[in-house]
Amino acid sequence: MNIYSDLNEIEKPFYRPALTIGNFDGVHLGHQALFKKVVEIAEKRGGDKVALTFHPHPMKILRPDNPPKLISTLDQKIELIMAAGIDHLVCLPFTKEFAKTTADKFVTEILFKRIGVEDLVVGYDYACGRGREGDIEFLKKKGEELGFKVHIIPPVTINGMIVSSTAIRKLVKKGNMRQVRKMLGRHYQIRGVVQKGKRRGGPVVGFPTANLSINPEDLCPKPGVYAVQVVHGDRLYDGVVNIGYNPTFGDGRLGAEVHIFDFNKDIYGHEIKVNFIARIRDEKKFSGPKELAEQIRKDIEEAKEIIYKYSKKRKGD
């Protein structure tokens, strides 16, 4: 997949492109429906499959005092869009100046003249331009005027709930990872580089952990203990993670402590990815290492049971 971070990098319009636009935070099932339609349209005529997104998230610029927590990092978003079959990703810098762009200029100068859109695929609630003035009816009129088709994708629903980034954020904050998985079409994931912690996991408690710091901009699951699967390199391991502030030892900093089953490698400085399967319990304070270790044993047994049932169910699907 080719990635363009500036419009000037697009030397000429794409070949008969089908295009979709969005923030695509999370690349959930609703977003995937847009990509699927783009691929379907473009492949029928051998045209380019194009997506346009923005970085940083527009709300970070428009609402800097209270921007939304991000479901996916930019790297993860790019990986997922590439996996959806898109050929070209235009990732435009979103600035205060860009936010002033009128809908007419955005469609005419960027989508039509620069990208060369022939088919525009958008969600049912999409709007573009300054103050979201370019609604669906506006896009249809511009399509008739300039000669491109507009395809409106209806909402995707799961158990009667519309799949959206807002809904997913609420579920992640509640720790409802099973419902999150249904909306994303995959596990919720955090990733990061393993940090050197207080070295209490193995020597003091008896369960070594890989410690990750939580980026304040990223969406953190509700504090507590979760059954997880951990990706290190090209291997997948089962495990359990505590998200929280480690009240037993009074650390006071939000972080993730991952205990990986049957694993004894030194991975300080390595990136790992943590896929959340299900929540086990709330984080709580214990009297000391002995009581904490006993609880961790119980958590491990429960996590293994959860992961076993999940894996068995997947094989049966």
Does residue 178 sit within a domain?
no
CATH code (residue 104): 3.40.50.620
| Residue 277 confidence (pLDDT) | 97
Residue 76 covered by a domain: yes
Give a yes or no: residue 169 inside a domain.
no
- Given 97, 130, 154, which residue is the final one in a domain? 154
> What distances in angstroms separate CA 11 from CA 38, 42, 279, one per listed residue?
22, 20, 49
Inter-residue contact 48 to 15 (CB < 8 Å): yes
CATH of the domain at 261: 2.40.30.30
Is residue 233 located within the same domain as residue 277? Answer: yes
Phi-psi region of 175 (alpha: psi -120 to 50; beta: other; left: phi over 0): left
> Total domain count for the chain?
2
Contact, 15 vs 21, CB < 8 A? no
Which pLDDT belongs to residue 242?
A: 94
CA-wise closest residue to 79 among 27, 19, 17 = 27
203 and 280 co-located in one domain: yes
Q: Do 60 and 130 have their domain in common? A: yes
Looking at the DSSP bridge assignments, the partners of residue 75 are none
Say whether pLDDT at 116 is over 70.
yes
> pLDDT exceeding 70 applies to what percent of the chain?
94
Indicate whether 76 and 199 sit together in one domain.
no
* Closest CA relative to residue 180, chosen from 300, 289, 279: 279
* Domain final position from 154, 176, 199: 154
User: What local confidence, expressed as pLDDT, does residue 60 receive?
Assistant: 92
Among 99, 129, 154, residue at a domain's last position: 154
| 30 in any annotated domain | yes
Q: Is residue 51 part of a domain?
A: yes
Examine the pLDDT at 110 and tell me if it is beyond 80.
yes
Q: Mark whether 22 and 131 lie in a shared domain.
A: yes
pTM: 0.89
Helix axes 177-184, 165-174, angle to 10 degrees: 160
Task: Give CA–CA dist 218/190, Å, rounded.
Answer: 9
- Band (pLDDT 50/70/90 cuts) for residue 316 is low
Residues 196-215 have a mean pLDDT of 70
- Mean predicted confidence (pLDDT) in 13-21: 98
Q: Give me the pLDDT at residue 117, please.
A: 98
Q: Which of 177, 248, 245, 173 is nearest to 211 (CA)?
A: 245
The answer to the question of residue 279 being in a domain is yes
Query: Is the domain of 279 the same as that of 213?
Result: yes
Q: Do 218 and 149 sit in the same domain of this protein?
A: no
Task: Give yes or no for residue 186 having a pLDDT over 70.
Answer: yes
Please give the mean pLDDT across all residues of the chain: 92
Going by the DSSP 8-state scheme, the letter that residue 119 receives in this structure is: E
Q: Could you tell me if 82 and 11 lie in one domain? A: yes
Do residues 149 and 193 both lie within one domain?
A: no
Domain that holds residue 196: 187-316
Whether residue 202 sits in one domain with residue 65: no
Give the tens place of pLDDT for each residue, 118-177.
999 999 999 999 999 999 999 999 999 999 999 999 999 999 999 999 999 999 999 999
Residues 140, 11: one domain? yes
Looking at the domain assignment, is residue 163 inside a domain?
Answer: no
Q: Residue 159 falls within a domain, yes or no?
A: no
Q: How far is it, in rounded angstroms, from Cα 188 to Cα 176?
A: 10
What the block records as the tokens of 212 is 């990750």
> 202 falls in which pLDDT band (50, 70, 90)?
very low
Token pair recorded at residue 188:
């919720």
Q: What are phi and psi of 114, to 5 degrees?
A: -80, -50
Long-range contacts of range 246-253, CB-CB < 8 Å, 24 or more positions apart?
Answer: 247/283, 247/284, 247/285, 248/285, 248/286, 248/288, 248/289, 248/292, 249/198, 249/200, 251/198, 253/213
Q: Strand 255-260 and strand 210-213: pairing?
A: antiparallel
Q: Are residues 48 and 143 in the same domain?
A: yes
